């Protein structure tokens, strides 16, 4: 009995010390906070890049699929070329592991770059773009064909009808899916630590390297990721409910 | 006003229109009837190139619109179209639905377009719906708005693609009423419909289509009372 208590006590003290070393000693909590900041920054930048890539590639694919004229035109040839490129892009990105893509970018393509975090952002953005592209494409395709026909029958161009009629309606279908992409991306940012990109997991690994203890740093960042995901899922749910309300007007 | 020469249209190997020839003069009210699958809607949709013909030519106002060098967007500004399923822009208010094209295509200033929209809305007794969204309206109201939206471009010809087919029976009358008024004001109209009463009353000429071609045509009196073709007689005996 005495022995057991003694052992538990030592273990508890050991845990306490490990916790102290992982978060409090030498103001190490500041590393996590700045890591968290970097993670949010990387997520936002990568999502921005992903959405930009996704919008362009989705528009190319939809415009290609919707061209109905069988005449050979310059824009038609360009669209075919663009569509082929987009297909190659999405196939490669969705068909290979993201870690491998990041490592190729970090260790091969930008071998000499020291800005690991930005290389990570680029890798995440390029990866995300391929998935966002499909999300946006299905959102655009879900808008009734009659909307485009009505716009064109009035003499509006394809682009004008897209911008003023189809895209605004598609956004309602796309936004919730984009929110999910944001949450996935938030967790995937941890992968850029393999190419020395600085974010939350990088901070945890840096602390562990000093304290020789992995448990608390890893548990700590897990809790932070979890809280972030819960927070953003909740915000996303609110957004979706609000959009449904405007549907029932 | 519109001359159709040897028009043909096939979807893949499926021929929908074969060698259609027709001439429509200004002020005519042409009603196209026929069994489903006869190519009526496809014919109408070829007239403003919503369907790309696979052969033949369509001359509108002296311009061959099937010529690749023709700016089809310019041509469509003068051809209004009303759809079976209304196709009002779901993300815009009624007023915005009507003013979008005239303003974007620089036919009117925003103020002029809004004034014109209100004037047209008053004509169909829907001025109180100007700030409503399409989702809040009944089918009959939507279709009257769709007609107004097309009229706001001041078209030379109006194409109607089964404008009452998707409506509840009690709403058909209000839409036909607007179309009749339009006809009385001298608008050139081409109407695909199953409303034989409307055809009798308003049409200057009725075309009977079957199997991708115009089988028979004449004034409503001729076609409805003395159809020559056996196929026309058969069709009319079923719908009248």
Count of C-beta atoms within a 10 Å radius of residue B225: 11
Q: What is the ipTM of this complex?
A: 0.93
In whole angstroms, what is the distance from residue B107 CA to residue B129 CA? 24
Asked if B76 lies within 8 A of A155 by C-beta distance, the reply is yes
Number of residues that make up chain A: 249
Q: What is the pLDDT of residues B130-172, one digit of tens each?
A: 999 999 999 999 999 999 999 999 999 999 999 999 999 999 9
Nearest to A155 among B52, B74, B135 (CB): B74
Distances (CA, A) of B59 to A16, B25, B64, B185, B203: 88, 12, 4, 24, 22
For residue A154, the chain B residues in CB contact (below 8 A) are: 76-77, 80, 100-101, 105, 149-150, 153
The CA-based angle A177-A181-A183, given to 5 degrees, is 115
Q: Which of B232, B237, B193 is nearest to B214 (CA)?
A: B232
Report the pLDDT averaged over residues B109-114.
96
Q: What is the pLDDT of residues A138-164, one digit of tens each?
A: 999 999 999 999 999 999 999 999 999
- For residues B190 and B30, the answer to whether their CB atoms sit within 8 Å is yes
Banded pLDDT at B21 (limits 50, 70, 90): very high
Nearest to B81 among A153, A160, A164 (CB): A153
Banded pLDDT at A70 (limits 50, 70, 90): low
Selected for mutation to probe chain A from B89, B99, B129, B142 (highest A CB count within 10 Å) is B89
Report the pLDDT averaged over residues B210-229.
94
- Block residue for tokens 């998707």: B166
Banded pLDDT at A29 (limits 50, 70, 90): confident
Q: Which of residues 130-149 of B touch A (CB under 8 A)?
A: 133, 135-136, 146, 149
- For residues B131 and B77, the answer to whether their CB atoms sit within 8 Å is no
At residue A175, φ and ψ (nearest 5 deg) are -55, -50
Residue A168's H or E segment, with its range, is helix A167-188
Q: Where are the domains of chain A?
A: 31-248
Whether residue A246 is predicted with pLDDT greater than 90 in this model: the reply is no
* pLDDT score for A10: 59
- For residues A47 and A128, the answer to whether their CB atoms sit within 8 Å is yes
Nearest to A150 among B75, B89, B136 (CB): B89
Asked if the C-beta of B104 comes within 8 angstroms of chain A's C-beta atoms, the answer is: yes
At residue B90, φ and ψ (nearest 5 deg) are -70, -25
- How far B64 CA sits from the closest chain A CA (Å)? 16
3-state secondary structure of B4: strand
- How far B122 CA sits from the closest chain A CA (Å)? 21
* pLDDT score for A173: 85
User: Which residues have C-beta within 8 Å of that of residue A92, sequence separation ≥ 6?
Assistant: none
What is the four-CA torsion angle of A54, A56, A59, A64, rounded to 10 degrees? -110
Asked if B101 lies within 8 A of A154 by C-beta distance, the reply is yes
Q: Which of B92, B186, B113, B165 is nearest to A150 (CA)?
A: B92
Asked if the C-beta of B74 comes within 8 angstroms of chain A's C-beta atoms, the answer is: yes
* pLDDT score for A197: 85
Count of C-beta atoms within a 10 Å radius of residue B214: 20
* pLDDT score for A247: 55
The CA-based angle B215-B217-B219, given to 5 degrees, is 165
Whether residue A248 is predicted with pLDDT greater than 80 in this model: the reply is no
Q: Which of A160, A94, A88 is nearest to A132 (CA)?
A: A94
* pLDDT score for B8: 95
Whether residue A69 is predicted with pLDDT greater than 80 in this model: the reply is no
Banded pLDDT at A73 (limits 50, 70, 90): confident
Whether residue B189 is predicted with pLDDT greater than 90 in this model: the reply is yes
In whole angstroms, what is the distance from residue A149 CA to residue A164 CA? 13
3-state secondary structure of B65: coil
* pLDDT score for A25: 79
Whether residue B186 is predicted with pLDDT greater than 90 in this model: the reply is yes
CATH superfamily, with its number, for domain A31-248: MetI-like (1.10.3720.10)
Asked if the C-beta of B57 comes within 8 angstroms of chain A's C-beta atoms, the answer is: no
* pLDDT score for B5: 96
Please give the order of strands across the beta sheet that includes B79-82: B79-82, B157-161, B188-192, B29-33, B205-210, B213-218
């Amino acid at each position: 009995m005495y022995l057991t208590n003694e052992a538990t006590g030592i273990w508890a003290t050991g845990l306490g010390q490990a916790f102290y070393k992982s978060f409090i000693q030498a103001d190490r909590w500041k590393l996590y906070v700045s890591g968290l900041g970097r993670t949010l920054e990387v997520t936002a930048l990568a999502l921005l890049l992903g959405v930009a890539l996704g919008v362009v590639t989705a528009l190319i694919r939809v415009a290609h699929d919707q061209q109905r004229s069988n005449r050979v035109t310059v824009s038609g040839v360009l669209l075919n070329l663009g569509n082929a490129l987009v297909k190659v892009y999405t196939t490669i990105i969705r068909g290979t592991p993201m870690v491998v893509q990041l490592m190729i970018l970090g260790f091969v393509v930008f071998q000499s770059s020291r800005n690991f975090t930005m290389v990570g952002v680029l890798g995440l953005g390029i990866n995300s773009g391929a998935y966002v592209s499909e999300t946006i494409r299905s959102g655009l395709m879900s808008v009734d064909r009659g909307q485009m026909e009505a716009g064109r029958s009035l003499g509006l161009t394809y682009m004008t009808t897209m911008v003023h009629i189809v895209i605004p309606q598609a956004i309602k279908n796309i936004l919730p899916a984009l929110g999910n992409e944001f949450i996935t991306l938030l967790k995937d940012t941890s992968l850029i630590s393999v190419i020395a990109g600085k974010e939350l997991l990088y901070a945890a690994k840096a602390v562990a390297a000093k304290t020789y203890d992995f448990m608390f740093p890893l548990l700590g960042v897990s809790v932070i990721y979890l809280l972030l995901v819960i927070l953003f899922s909740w915000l996303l749910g609110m957004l979706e409910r609000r959009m449904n309300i405007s549907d029932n007007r | 006003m519109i001359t159709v020469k040897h028009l043909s249209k096939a979807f893949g190997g499926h021929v929908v229109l074969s060698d259609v020839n027709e001439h429509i003069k200004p002020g005519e009210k042409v009603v196209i009837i026929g069994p489903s699958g006869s190519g009526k809607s496809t014919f109408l949709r070829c007239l403003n190139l919503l369907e790309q013909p696979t052969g033949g030519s369509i001359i509108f106002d002296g311009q061959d619109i099937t010529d690749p060098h023709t700016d089809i967007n310019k041509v469509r500004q003068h051809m209004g179209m009303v759809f079976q399923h209304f196709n009002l822009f779901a993300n815009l208010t009624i007023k915005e639905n009507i003013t979008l094209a005239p303003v974007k295509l620089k036919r009117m200033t925003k103020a002029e377009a809004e004034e014109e929209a209100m004037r047209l809305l008053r004509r169909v007794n829907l001025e109180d719906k100007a700030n409503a969204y399409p989702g809040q309206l009944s089918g009959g109201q939507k279709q009257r708005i769709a007609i107004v939206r097309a009229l706001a471009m001041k078209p030379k010809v109006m194409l109607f693609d089964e404008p009452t087919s998707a409506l509840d029976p009690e709403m058909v009358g209000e839409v036909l009423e607007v179309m009749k008024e339009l006809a009385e004001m001298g608008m050139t109209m081409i109407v695909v419909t199953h409303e034989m009463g409307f055809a009798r009353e308003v049409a200057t000429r009725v075309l009977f289509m079957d199997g991708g071609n115009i089988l028979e045509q004449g004034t409503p009196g001729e076609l409805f009372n003395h159809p020559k073709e056996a196929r026309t007689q058969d069709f009319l005996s079923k719908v009248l």
